[in-house]
Amino acid sequence: FFSAVALTVKQRFFLTILVLAFPLSAISGDPDIISDFVIPMGVNNTLLDGNFFTYTGMRPLINSDPPTNFTVTKAAMAEFPALNGQSVSYAVLQNPAGSVNPPHTHPRATELLFLTYGVLEVGFVDTTNKLFTQRLQAGDIFAFPKGLVHYQFNCAENDFVVAVSAFGSAAAGTVSVPSTVLATGIDDEILAKSFKTDVYTIQKLKAGFAPKA
């Protein structure tokens, strides 16, 4: 009897540790690697050279015309395999006048934004629902804490914005609040109750995210 009880206690303790450890592992940063870098499957490491550690996907931005739409050019693990295991990635944001990068989160990384041209209004909301905003000028840096909802808005009427964002993950991930809520099939009635409105309003909002023919 006592041995069975003791075993049950041990099992419960073990399960408790697993439950507590799971969220910690889920919110931690990229896992550490035990080699200098990660070689992609099927690649002969003896043939690697400096090209593997060079990403040229940003070159077209150098002499490009001012943006006409909000665009993000990424250098993350998907585009730049050498970043696997290095816990870092980049993105270049281009905002034409009056454009917005809608509220979104990066579940796996803090974002450090460096404004290189223009004036940019930024903000994020913490877990107490407090809004932190700032109007950045070229040369300013702003930190968006990991996992918190944030946005960027080009408040200028006649000028574009260029910013470079660094992330503390090779695959920071992006969860867009509007498209995640309105374009993933969540039931209209559930959304209407959640936003304290009616189904008709939700359907009108969803229509804006419908695929264009």
How far apart are alpha carbons 146 and 108 in whole angstroms? 7
CB-based contact 120:153 (threshold 8 Å): yes
How far apart are alpha carbons 201 and 188 in whole angstroms? 9
Q: Tell me: is residue 106 an annotated ligand-binding position.
A: yes
Q: Tell me: is residue 104 an annotated ligand-binding position.
A: yes
CB-based contact 124:174 (threshold 8 Å): no
CB-based contact 88:170 (threshold 8 Å): yes
Cα-to-chain-centroid distance, residue 192? 27
Q: Tell me: is residue 95 an annotated ligand-binding position.
A: no
Burial of 20 (0-12, 13-18, 19+ CB in 10 A): exposed
Closest CA to 171 of 49, 86, 101: 86
Residue 45 DSSP one-character state: G
How far apart are alpha carbons 72 and 6 in whole angstroms? 57
**What residue numbers does the annotated binding site for oxalate cover?**
101, 106, 111
**What residue numbers does the annotated binding site cover?**
101, 104, 106, 111, 150
**What residue numbers does the annotated binding site for Mn(2+) cover?**
104, 106, 111, 150
